[in-house]
Amino acid sequence: MITVGVTGFPFSGKTKLMELVAKYTGLDRIEDKIVVKVPDSRLQRLVEIYKPRKITPTEMEFLDAGALDPTEDKITTGTFSRLQEVDSMVIVLRAFKNEVVPFIEGYENAPDQLEGIMDMFFSRDIKVLEGRIDRLKNAKRKLNNIEEMELSFLERATDYLKRNGNLIGFEMKDDERKFIAGYSLMTVKPKVVLVNVGEGGEYEGKDEVLQIVKREGMGYDELPVGIAVELLDLAEDEREVFMEEYGVKEVAIEPLMREIMRVSNLMVFYTAGEKEVRAWEVSRGSTALDVAATIHTDIARGFIRAEIFSFDDIDREGSEKALKEKGLIRIVGKDHVVQDGDVVYVRFNV
Ligand SMILES: Nc1nc2c(ncn2[C@@H]2O[C@H](COP(=O)(O)OP(=O)(O)OP(=O)(O)O)[C@@H](O)[C@H]2O)c(=O)[nH]1
Ligand SMILES: [Mg+2]
């Protein structure tokens, strides 16, 4: 299960977003951590075809990680330590009008908030990397080979980060990647920017926000979070009337979740039978063997071959039998690269 930390400036609507997530999942109160079953139309279609006894969607956990505030180091430090623990984050930017809710001075519009947050991430990461460099350099003993390797890597990474503001395009070997994972850097974590827009959906500085999003390789979504929470209480036909009136395009969190999956470089594959239809998440580019290991280590260990077909094929043909007759089920080995939406059956023996 992928975990998502919700953060942003104070009063940007982080708790409101948690309320929306809660409502969405049928919880009647807001909690700091909420697990959401990821809505999946492909999974629903497979259920129609297989009529399984059990249905298992993927899940996503949302955590309210708290505020990032350039004027309050202590609050920000607490938020960093919670963000360290999550796989990805949603950065909520405030673009709604509300006279009673104050802004932090100098951060009244969305692009300034986003640049402010990027600066906080950058400074914090430089501090983490330089702290580690100091510790290694000041060790009162001879460094072992791995530590020597780490030190030279740290110096290169810090230099690159200082020059580029992020580590996009920084070349790493596989064992260096492990170092990076250990530091839990904010600049490296997959991020989706969620602009909390007000009525009408327009906001100042959208072009700049989109530019920063592109530069930093982040995902993007916009949602009138406050209004969406209220609209979810209405019956569907009533809701549509109000959506039109308020100029609201979307009250659902699916697009946000899709963006989180995309920037996290994840895709979904399925296993399907009479017993269970299940969705699984794996990294893009995973092989049949990776997929087998996701299902069960024993299945990977005893891997013989995998039988694979695409969702689109079974969606069109309507049954596995039809796929067999048309030769649309492929038999593949360990190294075959699985695609998003593939349905996989692994043959194994233990
Ligand atoms: N008009 C309007 N008000 C909103 C919206 N979203 C949040 N608010 C209000 O703004 C205030 C702050 O919202 P929260 O969701 O508590 O913000 P937060 O980011 O959790 O704030 P902290 O946890 O204090 O950092 C509350 O009074 C909300 O009711 C919105 O979309 N529109
Ligand atoms: Mg809050």
Query: What is the domain partition of the chain in residue ranges?
Result: 2-262, 285-348
Q: Which residue type occupies 3?
A: T
pLDDT score recorded for residue 187: 95
Is the CB of 224 inside a 6 Å radius of any atom of ligand 1?
yes
Chosen CATH of 2-262 out of 3.40.50.1580, 3.40.50.620, 3.40.50.12780, 3.40.50.300 = 3.40.50.300
Pairing of strands 88-95, 2-8: parallel
Q: Longest Cα pair distance anywhere in the chain, in angstroms?
A: 71
Report the C-alpha gap between 208 and 269 in whole angstroms.
Answer: 36
Å from CA of 16 to ligand 1 middle:
6
Is the CB of 16 inside a 6 Å radius of any atom of ligand 1?
yes
| 6-20, 23-37, 273-287: range with lowest mean pLDDT | 23-37
Mean pLDDT of the chain: 94
Is the CB of 18 inside a 6 Å radius of any atom of ligand 1?
no
Is the CB of 225 inside a 6 Å radius of any atom of ligand 1?
yes
Å from CA of 226 to ligand 1 middle:
7
pLDDT band at 156 (very low <50, low <70, confident <90, very high): very high
Ligand nearest to the CA of 225: 1
pLDDT band at 198 (very low <50, low <70, confident <90, very high): confident
Question: Which residues does 28 contact at the CB level (< 8 Å), separation at least 6?
Answer: 22
- Selected residue with higher pLDDT from 199 and 20: 20
User: Which residue's CA is the nearest one to ligand 1's atom 4?
Assistant: 226
- At the topology level of CATH, where does 285-348 sit? Ubiquitin-like (UB roll) (3.10.20)
